[in-house]
Amino acid sequence: MTITSALRKFLSGVARANSCVLTLCFLLLPLSLQASAQNESQAPFSITTFELENGLRVILSEDYSLPLISVAVAYNVGSINELPNKTGLAYLMENLMFQGSRNIGTMQHINFIQRIGGTLNAVTFEDRTIFYQTVPSNQLALVLWLESDRMMGLDIDAQKVARTRSNLIREIQQRKASDPYFDTNLYFDSLLYPSETYSHPVIGEEADLRELTLEEVENFYSTYYTPNNAVLCITGNFQRRKATALVNKYFSSIPKGEAIPAITLEGHKNGEDTEKTIKNYTAKSPAFHLGYRISSPDSNDFYTLTIIEYILLRGKSSRLYKKLMLKDFTARQLNGGIETKKNLATFKIFVRSNTQTMMERSQKTVFSEFDDLRSNLIDEDELNRAKNMFKRNYVNRYTRLVDRALFLTEAFLSNRSSVDTATELQRYLAVTPSAVIGIANRYFHKGRVLLNIKLK
């Protein structure tokens, strides 16, 4: 996957935050063994990339507007790297990474960051795990030391694994208790995706977590949490030469890991419509899941599919929100959008209604809107509203240092090529009414997966 496709994948799940619009465009340069600086005339901030001998890829992006820096370390591993009946390993590892390493005690990483007024977080996806923090700019050395120490030698023992596993099992139980549609969503994914590689939850299955051994956890860490399977990104107020020296100081001595095991990723299988109905004994409202298998995130079709997502689902002016939530009042809850998992993408919608009759009316409305997209050219004004909302969200991803760091690590986890994001944005904004009707007929004509949820 190129940076172009990684960008599309990243933007398909952008946060819907309201913040000032800032025009940003920059050129991502390919990685090389020598640092390469961005031409300042081409972008409002620079990007320097280099690679250490142990395979760690490094991205530096200076921004002197605030006395802050954000540091993100992303590992190219997630739930799709788990073996059958070993689910939850990636999420377990995310939590274990805060349980101490060679020179840092349990939870001390968090304490160090909070004591200097910083913030931190971590997140695990199907295909990546990211740790990130924002701190005062004079604390870069501390953050790099903390991150390098747990990359070099995490302190894993049976007691820590048992304690973390118990916490995750409790979290699964709490999620199921608070979300009556938790299990139906998992069942829906099993219908929508081609294999367990994609369909099992990132958090893991409770039964699998109980059976994980210390040896399996250690092997997962030593295999995937290596410098040659990671990307380090620093954004903010720092001096490039000093930051480069610190990166070399703390990370260059970490040994390169073994070759990362290849995984076989199945593609979508085209087929006829699938419809199932199940009874949910914990839900208080009937609902339905609807999904379509769409093109890979690196396909040119993805530009138009993303705009269709905005036409149907994004914002109060979107078609489904207006009709289901504001006009007909047939839905109590409406969620959905494009979901990407490595080389696969799906278009998902979840609707919950007060009564069975309202649910059926909501379902007819959703089908009617897809039919309309396939049959009639969209009005230019409506299309432009969707594009403008997309553009605002696109631009807002770079207003904060931490968001920029997350994007850059996400992009560089894929195969590398340069891309001009101004040109990339124009490809979304160039989507035409005829493109919408063509893509709608290609992906929303057949092969839908529908799961109806009825009460007991």
Assess whether 199 and 330 both reside in one domain.
Answer: no
As a whole number of Å, the end-to-end CA separation of the chain is 45
Give the count of alpha carbons within 13 A of 77, CB side only.
Answer: 27
The CATH number that applies at residue 177 is: 3.30.830.10
Assess whether 33 and 166 both reside in one domain.
Answer: yes
pLDDT reading at 269 higher than 80: no
Assess whether 8 and 88 both reside in one domain.
Answer: yes
Report the alpha-carbon angle 337-341-342, nearest 5.
135
Buried b (16+ CB within 10 A) or exposed e, 237-248: bbeeeebbebbe
Assess whether 347 and 237 both reside in one domain.
Answer: no
Distance CA 122, CA 70 (A): 13
Pick from 35-39, 231-235, 264-268 the range whose average pLDDT is largest.
231-235
* Assigned token pair, 241: 């030469």
Structure confidence at residue 284 as a pLDDT band (50, 70, 90) = confident
In percent, the amount of the chain with pLDDT more than 90 equals 71
**195 contact partners, CB below 8 Å, separation of at least 6:** 266
**422 contact partners, CB below 8 Å, separation of at least 6:** 25
pTM, to two decimals: 0.85
pLDDT reading at 372 higher than 70: yes
Distance CA 127, CA 81 (A): 8
Residue 83 lies in domain: 3-16+26-251
Distance CA 280, CA 292 (A): 23
Assess whether 119 and 186 both reside in one domain.
Answer: yes
Assess whether 212 and 296 both reside in one domain.
Answer: no
